[in-house]
Amino acid sequence: QVLQVTKGDFVGSASGAVVLTALIVFLSSVLV
């Protein structure tokens, strides 16, 4: 169970990082 929760947290963090990066790239493209 602990391993599964850790995996879920890792996936959630990775998804958040990807979304944040995509948002930054999108804003940069719009500003430039």
Task: Show Cβ contacts of residue 1 under 8 Å, excluding neighbours closer than 6 positions.
Answer: none
Would you state the structure tokens that stand for residue 30, as one six-digit string? 């719009």
- Tally of domains within the chain: 1
pLDDT value at residue 19: 94
pLDDT at res. 6: 75
- What pLDDT sits at residue 32? 80
- How far apart are the C-alpha atoms of 32 and 17, rounded to whole Å? 22
Range of the domain at 7: 1-32
* Alpha carbons 32 and 20: distance in angstroms, whole number: 18
Q: How far apart are CA 2 and CA 5, in angstroms?
A: 5
Query: Which pLDDT belongs to residue 5?
Result: 66
Tell me how crowded residue 8 is: count the other CB atoms within 10 A of its CB.
10
| 1-32 confidence digits (pLDDT tens) | 566 667 778 888 889 999 999 999 999 999 88
